[in-house]
Amino acid sequence: MLTKASYCARALRYAGDSSAASFTLGVCTLPYLIGLLCLAPRTRLNVSECPSGQRIRAHLRLRRWGLPRFRLAQGVLHLPEDYASYLRGRRRQALRTNVARARARSVECTHTIVCDGLSNGHSCDQPAPVERWQATNRAGSLVGEAWLTVDAECALMHSMVTSETDVRWLLHAAIIEQLCDRGCRQLLTNSHDAFLMAPGQQYFQRLLGYSVERVALRRSLPAPARGASRVLAVLVLLVSAAAVGEQALASIL
């Protein structure tokens, strides 16, 4: 469903730059986009009142065209209690292989706490500690970097940039290992809704275990209000996407 929903979303969002055939394909696959938005499972997040939790809450409350920017169909990674469980199984074979390749070249990952908060340009600028993760090669050169906000039960990855393909697997795995040890249960990324991500990014997240879900802060809302807001979100998204073209943001994963 995600692949066909992506055809529709890209064709409608960039209607001004696409051909008539591409736009027609988008219209024909419209039911898949609506289905993805309406049927994607909902995950509820517990965020604390500490600065880290406030930053994640502010991030999830960001809107564009009146709609949530990071909650309609977001990649969410649910973390097990131990890192060994995350690595287990055939679906993690690509992860294990690429991590081994990076380690064979003596790539190492370290992280530090930055207390001054994120610089301007990130999704949220509230003062809060952030973690700066770095991957360095045998010569000590920087080959990867990631920035995270980590709360008690969930974490937000603001960015990840690597200069070598297998390094991103190792850097992501090192982050997951730490989050599992701390009892963190969910990892979000500061990226497009899943249906607007590039196919390569969708595939990479799928191999890492991310699922496409509707994200909500834990609170109580009447069922009718949730259903009505979901339908309204779908309609406004499609109308806005067909009328407004916008360049994609920098990729996260």
What are the domain boundaries of the chain? Answer: 41-220
pLDDT for position 11: 64
* Tokens of residue 188, six digits: 């979000």
Among the residue ranges 44-48, 122-126, 206-210, the one predicted with the least confidence is: 122-126
pLDDT for position 252: 41
Mean pLDDT of 169-179: 98
pLDDT for position 19: 56
Domain 41-220 class, CATH top level: alpha beta
pLDDT for position 95: 96
- What whole-number distance in Å separates Cα of residue 220 and Cα of residue 231? 19
Contacts 24+ apart (CB under 8 A), 99-102: 99/166, 99/169, 99/170, 99/173, 101/166, 102/135, 102/164, 102/166, 102/167, 102/169, 102/170
The pLDDT-based confidence of 148 (bands split at 50, 70, 90) is very high
- What whole-number distance in Å separates Cα of residue 142 and Cα of residue 121? 22
The three-class DSSP label of residue 228 is helix
Mean pLDDT of 139-150: 96
Among the listed residues 105, 97, 107, the one whose alpha carbon sits nearest the alpha carbon of residue 145: 107
The three-class DSSP label of residue 53 is helix
Q: What percent of the chain has pLDDT over 70?
A: 70
pLDDT for position 245: 38
What Cα–Cα distance (Å) separates residue 29 from each residue in 4, 6, 105, 238, 241? 6, 9, 44, 12, 14
Average pLDDT, the chain: 79
* Tokens of residue 61, six digits: 């409350």
Does residue 17 have a pLDDT over 60? no
- What whole-number distance in Å separates Cα of residue 216 and Cα of residue 214? 7
